[in-house]
Amino acid sequence: MTIHMTDGHMVSAFLAEPEGTPKGHIHLLHGMAEHIGRYAQFAGALRKAGYIVSGHDHRGHGSTVRLNGIRGYFAEEDGFERVVQDVHEVTSLLRDSHPSSAFTIFGHSMGSFVARRYTQRYGHLLDRAIFMGSGDHPGPAIRAGRMIAEGYIAAGLKKEPNQLLNSLTFGRYNLHFPDAETPFDWLNEDQEAVRAYLDDEESGFVSTTGFFSDLFEGLDLIHNDREIRRTPDDLPILLISGGSDPVGKNGAGIWNVARQYAENGVRNVTVYLVEEGRHEILHSPKKNRITEYITGWLEA
């Protein structure tokens, strides 16, 4: 389905209903340089478990970019916040048309950063939140990234793919895996899954300078203590990640996120690390066990 945003942009979304009375509604947010279609198996398992499942392609991604926009680009201004607003507008419409007893936001990787911001702005509308493949603040490196992005933007290259920023952001991830055969081995220990990602024409692209600038701004924002305190203190949150995921610093970054939540009064946080799992645990050999854990957590 196509949903019109208040700024005139169009977003491609889907919704699937279970048989019988739904246990709740889960909305999925995909990661950077991929699309919501990659979550079809996970969505099917959630639907089979009794949940309404929905999701959409972010601006600059998947079917949404085919409707309008530029691949790997969010918006002219405040792109990260605009993507969060898209989530609110899409989910509000879908929830109005398909009421259920409980609503959960699920975000993977970049989608987890968007979901974390959503909980800061709209957490009062949530019953649960799941952040998969997330990470903590990148530290001083983000300052350098923002300066580089500003230089490219000043040169009129905001909407152009930026290989330098892409390399600086992701180039070191494969160093954790000395036997890597492709630039994306850090995603998965299953080579067939890595190959499927490489063969997917709508995944693995290089995003624009504007996208990286928006992402860096968003990362600064979601890790601000003042903004974290806007998260409802009793919201059940699941931080789930691969124990060998470089985005989460092999688990250390996930514990840092949990610690920052605790320090700011958010008290209902569960951490689950998948032993030897890399970044895309939903595409790993352990995907069925991970899905079972998630549904168990939702019902508990």
pLDDT (0 to 100) of residue 176: 85
Cα angle 275, 252, 185; round to 5:
55
Tokens of 212: 């990286």
pTM comes to 0.96
Can you tell me the mean pLDDT for 131-151? Answer: 93
pLDDT (0 to 100) of residue 283: 97
The CA distance from 66 to 63, in Å, is 5
DSSP letter (8 states) at residue 208: B
Task: Give me the CATH code for the 2-136+225-299 domain, please.
Answer: 3.40.50.1820
pLDDT (0 to 100) of residue 141: 85
Cβ atoms of 169 and 212 closer than 8 Å? yes
Angle, nearest 10°, between helix axes 163-170 and 209-222? 40
- Which residues are within 8 A (CB) of 261 and not within 5 positions of it... i.e. 6 or more apart? 228, 231, 237, 269
User: Tens digit of pLDDT for each residue in 144-195?
Assistant: 999 999 999 999 999 999 999 999 888 889 988 988 899 999 999 999 999 9
The CA distance from 193 to 284, in Å, is 7
Residue 21 burial (10 A CB sphere; 0-12, 13-18, 19+): exposed
Handedness of CA 66, 81, 279, 23 (dihedral sign): negative
Mean pLDDT of the chain: 96
In this prediction, residue 101 has a pLDDT band, given cuts at 50, 70 and 90, of: confident
Cβ atoms of 22 and 7 closer than 8 Å? no
The CA distance from 103 to 126, in Å, is 6
- Which residues are within 8 A (CB) of 192 and not within 5 positions of it... i.e. 6 or more apart? none
Residue ranges of domains in the chain? 2-136+225-299
Q: Which DSSP helix (H) or strand (E) runs through 28? A: strand 24-29
Cβ atoms of 20 and 50 closer than 8 Å? yes
Q: Which residues, in sequence order, are bridge partners of residue 2? A: 12
pLDDT over 90 (residue 132): yes
Can you tell me the mean pLDDT for 26-31? Answer: 98
The CA distance from 14 to 53, in Å, is 8
DSSP letter (8 states) at residue 174: G
User: Tens digit of pLDDT for each residue in 78-91?
Assistant: 999 999 999 999 99
CB atoms within 10 A of CB 180: 14
Can you tell me the mean pLDDT for 22-29? Answer: 97
